[in-house]
Amino acid sequence: MRERPWLRGLRRPPETVVGGHRALKAALRPVTEAVRARRRLAWLNEAGMRIGTTLDLRRTAEELAGFAVPELADGCAVDLLESVLRFQQGDHFEGAAGTPELRAMAVSEVPGLNLAPDPVGEVSVYTADRLVRTCLTTRKPVLVTRMEPSDFHAVAPTPEAADLMRRAGVHSYLAVPLIARGVLLGLADLVRAGSRTPFTRADVALVMELASRAAVYIDNARLYGREREHVVTLQRALLPRSSPSTPGLEVSSCYDPAGDPAAVGGDWFDVVALPSGRTALMVGDVMGRGLAAAATMGRLRTVARTLMALDIAPERLLARLDLAARDLEEDQVATCLCAVYDPCGSTFRIASAGHPPPLLTGPDGTASFLDVPAGAPLGTGVIPYDPVDCPMPERGRLTLYTDGLIRSRTAGLASQMERLREAVGAGVPDDGTVCRAVTERVGGDRSDDAIVLIAAARPLAPEGDVYVRTLPPDGKAAGQARTAVREQLVRWGLEDLVDSTELVVSELVGNALRYGNAPGELRLLRHERRLSVEVSDSGPDLPQIQRADVSDESGRGLQLINMMCRSWGSCRTPEGKVVWAEQDLPARGGPAGPR
Greatest CA span in the chain, whole angstroms? 155
Contact 545, 559 (CB under 8 A): yes
pLDDT tens over the chain, length 595 residues: 455 554 454 455 555 555 556 665 566 566 556 666 677 778 888 888 899 888 888 999 999 999 999 888 999 999 999 888 887 765 544 444 556 788 899 999 988 888 878 788 888 777 777 888 888 888 999 999 999 988 998 888 888 888 989 999 999 999 999 999 888 999 999 999 988 999 999 899 999 999 999 999 999 888 888 877 777 777 677 777 766 777 778 888 888 876 655 556 678 888 988 877 788 999 998 887 777 777 788 888 888 888 887 778 899 899 988 888 888 766 778 899 999 998 877 889 999 999 999 999 988 888 899 999 988 898 887 878 999 999 998 888 899 998 888 887 777 788 888 888 888 887 777 766 788 888 888 876 666 788 899 888 887 655 557 888 888 888 888 888 899 989 988 888 888 888 888 888 888 888 888 887 888 888 888 876 788 888 888 887 777 776 655 555 555 677 788 888 888 888 777 778 888 888 888 875 444 443 4
Quick count: other Cβ atoms within 10 Å of Cβ 8?
8
b/e sequence 76-98, b meaning 16+ C-beta within 10 Å: bbbbbbebbbebeebbebeeeee
Contact 541, 360 (CB under 8 A): no
Task: List the beta strands (DSSP E) in 113-219.
Answer: 123-124, 142-144, 170-180, 183-193
Note every long-range contact of 413-421, with CB atoms under 8 Å and residues 24 or more positions apart, other chains counting. 416/442, 416/444, 417/369, 419/443, 419/444, 420/359, 421/359, 421/367, 421/368, 421/369
Can you name the residues that pair with 323 across neighbouring β-strands? none
- Whole-number Å distance between alpha carbons of 571 and 537: 11
pTM over 0.85: no
Quick count: other Cβ atoms within 10 Å of Cβ 492?
16
- Whole-number Å distance between alpha carbons of 225 and 86: 8
- Whole-number Å distance between alpha carbons of 374 and 347: 19
Can you name the residues that pair with 255 across neighbouring β-strands? 451
